[in-house]
Amino acid sequence: MDKKIYIFGHKNPDTDSICSSLVSEILYKKSGISNVEARRLGNVNKETQYILDYLKIQAPELLENVEEGQEVFLVDHNEFNQSVEGIEKAKILRVTDHHRIANFETSEPLYYNAKPYGCTATILFEEFKNNGIEIEKKEAILMASSIISDTLLLKSPTTTEFDKKVLEELGRIADLDIEKYGLEMLKAGTDLDDFSEEELISLDAKALEKNGSKFVIAQVNTVSIEDVMKRGESLKTAIKSKINNDGLALFVLAITDILNSNSQIIAIGERVDAVENGFGIELENDTAFLEGVVSRKKQLLPQIDKNI
C-alpha cells in the first residue's frame, strides 16, 4: 500500500481547517495523488458539524501526532505552535494558507501557496480552476461554507473582491441560497450552552509568540454578546488559570457579534498594555467593547502583535 500523505488544518479546528482539508483531499485525488487523506487536529465545532450533517459526510479522522518523516500537506495555518505534535520532524510537502508566515521552517523545498484572501478555500478554488479540475456540488458546498465562516458572510474586513466572486460562483454550482444557508450555518456555531468556560476559551484559540512572550487570542461567535457576558466572571476565572498553567503574558477572548459586526473583549495578563495601546482604549473590569472589530487576523492580531 502507498504511504499516506496527511492533510490537516490548525489545532482547535475551525470550519476552514476542516473543510479545506476535505476539499484538498478531493482536489489532489482528482489531480492523481491517490494517497492523500484529510485529518483533523481536534474536535469539530458546532458550525462545522452543521455542514457535515448537511452533506451527510463524516469528519476526518483525528490525528494526535506525527512520526519522523511523515509526509504532510498543511492547510489554513503554517505556524508550528498551531500545528500537529511532531511537526518539526515531519516532511512538509505543501502549504496552502492565508495567514501571516511565522514560526515556520523546512529543511527541503516545498510547494507553498500563500494568498491574502479571506479564506483557504478561496485559494483551493483557484487551484481547481488553474488546473482545469471540475468542481462538483460537494466540494462547492465545502468551499462555500469555509468562505462564509472565515468572512462572516463576506462582512469581515478580511474579505477580498475575489472571495465575493468565488462565493457567488460556488453558490451557483451548488444551487445554494448563500444568505439563507450561511446564516443558519453561522447560527449553529453560536450555540454555546453545552460548553464549560474552559472549553469556551479554547474552542477557537490561537497560540502566538513574540520576543519570547506567549499569548493567546481566542474568539467565540454569538448573536448576543450580553448572553455570553452573563458568564463573564467565570470566563475570567478560566482565563486566569489558563494563563497560570501555560505561562502566558496575555490572553484575549473576543466575543464577536456576527449580526452587528462588533466584539466585546476580555483581556487579562501582565501585557494587557499591548491591547490598550493597540486600540487606544482602557480596559474596564478586564473588558472593552471594540466597535467594528470582527477579525483576529486583520484587526486583533496586528494591533496586539506590534505592541507586545
Interface residues with Mg ion (CB under 5 A) are 14, 16-17, 76, 120, 150
Q: What is the DSSP letter of 43?
A: P
Measured from the CB of residue 37, what is the shortest distance to Mg ion in angstroms?
20
Give the residue closest to Mg ion by C-beta.
Answer: 16
Least CB distance to Mg ion at residue 59 (A)? 15
Question: Minimum distance between the CB of residue 101 and Mg ion, rounded to whole angstroms?
Answer: 14
Interior angle at CA 49, CA 47 and CA 52, nearest 5: 120
Tell the smallest beta-carbon distance from residue 197 to Mg ion (Å): 20
Pick between residue 135 and residue 301 the one whose CB is nearest to Mg ion: 301
Cβ nearer to Mg ion, comparing 217 with 268? 217
Which residue, 48 or 70, has its beta carbon nearer to Mg ion?
48
Least Å distance, CB 107 to Mg ion, is 26
Q: Which is nearer to Mg ion, 188 or 283 (CB)?
A: 188
Length, in residues, of the chain? 308
**CB closer to Mg ion out of 237 and 260:** 260
Q: Would you state the torsion angle of the CA atoms of residues 295, 301, 307, 308, taken in this order, to the nearest 10 degrees?
A: 150
Q: Distance between CA 120 and CA 223 in Å, rounded? A: 25
What DSSP line would sit under 4-19, residue for residue? PEEEE--SS--HHHHH
Name the residue nearer to Mg ion (CB basis): 70 or 122.
122
- Measured in degrees and rounded to the nearest 5, phi and psi for residue 221 equal -95, 145
- DSSP H helices, the chain, are 15-30, 46-55, 120-130, 137-151, 161-174, 178-188, 197-200, 225-229, 232-246, 273-279, 301-305
The span from the CA of 228 to the CA of 251, in Å, is 17
**CB of 229 vs Mg ion, minimal distance in Å:** 21
